[in-house]
Amino acid sequence: MAKTKTTYYCQNCGANSPKWIGKCPSCNEWNTYVEEVVTKSSGQSEKEVWQEESTVRNKPKKIQELEFDEQRRLRTGNAELDRTLGGGIVPGSLVLIGGEPGIGKSTLLLQMAIRMPQVKTLYASGEESLDQIRMRAERIGITAENCFLLAETSLANIMTQAAQLKPDLLIIDSIQTLHTEAIEASVGSISQVRECTGKLMKYAKQTNVPVFLIGHVNKDGAIAGPKVLEHMVDTVLQFEGDRHLSYRILRTSKNRFGSTSELGIYEMREAGLREVTNPSEVLISPREGFLSGVGIGATLEGNRPLLIEVQSLVSTATYGTPQRSTTGFDVKRLNMLLAVLEKRLGVRLSTQDIFLNLAGGLKVVDPALDLSICASIYSSFDDVPIPSSICFSAEVGLGGEIRAVNRIESRITEAAKLGFAQIYVSKHNVKGLDLSKFDIEVKAYSRLAEAFEELFN
Ligand code: TYD
Ligand code: MG
């Protein structure tokens, strides 16, 4: 017999409560509780099952008898995606790709599907009609004959079609548009999303077919119903970037089959996403002549060293309160660096408007950018350009000291590879480092004042 019960679910974090509450005690969001009617057909409980003679064929196996062959991973042909996944798609894995609307999730997965000629894929979309998908595919350029499209929101029908088609890979766009008859909650609600994900996981594990889920992200950047989904799936990828700028980063926030410090970089073009294999080249614009306010910082994104261009503009404020505006960088951190420049170096910035931009629309939280930011601000303030052969990689402390950053060797190596002549780092970073092995002059300082003395006179 079917059981009906009503529960209130937080649409943000998935916590539940038997009665409505205004503020979610687990994520502190207001007004997120929604009533959901959950009807479950009563099956056998686990207790009854294990008391019976087992008819299930799935038996425990000795750990030595199992072998995981790296060769069994499916290569997507997309090097950035393969690396982000930890070396290709693991059979039977459930992968969630989250991102804001319009960032390019559908494009990424459709592109993956139509560029794997040897793999039979089923792309089930509840968001777009077949014509729309076809148009998108044409834009990207169709190369595979083995990609099947299905415009469907009913999970039952998708499962039926998958059972008939027997694809090697199933893509669901998006998990929030699916519904299953098993429960009566509305489409996109936490209960529906969880139930559908659970069923898809079962499908993936039993058939060994990898399943990709696209998930929309809510305003806080968490995947809707985040906690619920994230612990159910094997891998969580986040597709980020500024929708109006062309660069996109694919990050792993969870991976049962690989490292979470890998990431992929893409550029959104007219004809789909292009892999960016040498990101530093595109993040630094070629400079003709000298321009003040431009500094190059050597940062790390995941495991990859990246050189990124920092641009700042310092100009006298025309209104009472000067503006502080940043793209890609934390404005609080900028304010801290400005205070250091003001207090420790006596640079009068309090009456100046300051705008700071990181090239390419990337968001960087690495403190190793500090020195390049301070240098670019001073350069704009004083209108003295920084020579384009110099780059920076160090943190700046509150006392105006230059602090060490992690993995300095890969940063220096990357800077040398890109042909920079000098890199400014912290003195504490070079202890025990053989500087002669780098093809670049390493300048080490312990105080901001000393570094600026050298740089700007
Ligand atoms: P889409 O994959 O629909 O985003 P999501 O599924 O994450 O919501 O991509 C959206 C944007 O990408 C859209 O604004 C158009 C742009 N785009 C291109 O610039 N080039 C292309 O080849 C394609 C297919 C899309
Ligand atoms: Mg989409």
> What is the secondary structure of 231-260 as a DSSP string?
HHSSEEEEEES-TTSSEEEEEEEEETTS-S
**C-beta of 344 in contact with ligand 1 (< 6 A):** no
**C-beta of 104 in contact with ligand 1 (< 6 A):** yes
pLDDT, residue 372, reads 96
Pocket of ligand 1, candidates 268, 270, 273, 275: which has the most ligand atoms within 8 Å of its Cβ, to mutate? 268
CA of 269 to the centre of ligand 1 (A): 9
pLDDT, residue 313, reads 95
Of 68, 360, 104, 406, nearest to 237 by C-alpha is 104
Pocket of ligand 1, candidates 107, 109, 135: which has the most ligand atoms within 8 Å of its Cβ, to mutate? 107
Structure-token match 């057909």, residue found: 41
Provide block-wise average pLDDT over 10 residues at a time, the chain (457 residues): 76 85 88 78 52 63 74 84 90 92 92 88 94 91 83 93 94 91 83 90 93 83 66 90 80 87 86 85 71 92 86 90 92 96 94 91 88 96 92 96 94 89 94 90 95 92
**C-beta of 101 in contact with ligand 1 (< 6 A):** yes
Query: Residue 20: what residue type?
Result: W
Ligand nearest to the CA of 104: 1
**C-beta of 268 in contact with ligand 1 (< 6 A):** yes
Ligand nearest to the CA of 105: 1
CA of 431 to the centre of ligand 2 (A): 50
Structure-token match 């740089």, residue found: 455
Query: Residue 171: what residue type?
Result: I
**C-beta of 98 in contact with ligand 1 (< 6 A):** no
CB atoms within 10 A of CB 101: 11
Ligand nearest to the CA of 266: 1
Cα–Cα separations (whole angstroms), residue 200 to 95, 204, 212, 377: 11, 6, 10, 51
- CATH numeric code, 75-275: 3.40.50.300
Domain limits of the chain? 1-43, 75-275, 282-455
Neighbours of ion ligand 2 (CB under 5 A): 106
Do residues 29 and 10 make contact, with C-beta atoms less than 8 angstroms apart? yes
d(CA 317, CA 7): 55
Residue 384 gets which letter from DSSP? -
By alpha-carbon position, which residue is closest to atom 12 of ligand 1?
Answer: 104
Cross-strand partners of 99: 216, 239
Percent helix, strand, coil in the chain (nearest 5)? Answer: 30, 30, 40
**C-beta of 105 in contact with ligand 1 (< 6 A):** yes
**C-beta of 140 in contact with ligand 1 (< 6 A):** yes
pLDDT, residue 260, reads 80
Cα–Cα separations (whole angstroms), residue 88 to 39, 82, 83, 118, 186: 38, 4, 7, 14, 35
CA of 106 to the centre of ligand 2 (A): 4
pLDDT, residue 69, reads 66
Taking the complete model, does pTM exceed 0.95, yes or no? no
d(CA 311, CA 82): 33
d(CA 84, CA 302): 10
d(CA 208, CA 231): 19
Dmax over CA atoms of the chain, in Å, equals: 85
Q: Which atom of ligand 1 is nearest to the CA of 111?
A: 24
Of 439, 378, 352, 366, nearest to 405 by C-alpha is 366
pLDDT, residue 223, reads 61
By alpha-carbon position, which residue is closest to atom 18 of ligand 1?
Answer: 270
E strands present in 142-262:
147-151, 169-173, 211-216, 235-240, 247-255
Q: Which atom of ligand 1 is nearest to the CA of 105?
A: 7
pLDDT, residue 115, reads 85
Q: Which two tokens stand for residue 213?
A: 């889920």
CA of 160 to the centre of ligand 2 (A): 23
Give phi and psi for 55, each to the nearest 5: -105, -5
pLDDT, residue 227, reads 65
CA of 105 to the centre of ligand 1 (A): 8
* Binding-site annotation, residues for ATP: 99-106
Query: Residue 418: what residue type?
Result: L
Rg of the chain (C-alpha set): 26
CB atoms within 10 A of CB 418: 17
CA of 51 to the centre of ligand 2 (A): 46
By alpha-carbon position, which residue is closest to atom 1 of ligand 1?
Answer: 104
Residue 360 gets which letter from DSSP? G
**C-beta of 106 in contact with ligand 1 (< 6 A):** yes
What CATH architecture applies to the domain 282-455?
Answer: 2-Layer Sandwich (3.30)
Of 139, 138, 201, nearest to 172 by C-alpha is 201
Do residues 185 and 34 make contact, with C-beta atoms less than 8 angstroms apart? no
Tell how strand 247-255 and strand 263-269 pair up: antiparallel
Q: Which atom of ligand 1 is nearest to the CA of 270?
A: 20
pLDDT, residue 51, reads 56
pLDDT, residue 385, reads 93
**Per-residue b/e over 276-288, b at no fewer than 16 CB within 10 Å?**
beebbeebbeeee
**Per-residue b/e over 297-319, b at no fewer than 16 CB within 10 Å?**
bbbbbbebbbbbbbbbbbeeeee
Give phi and psi for 376, each to the nearest 5: -70, -35
Q: Which atom of ligand 1 is nearest to the CA of 173?
A: 6
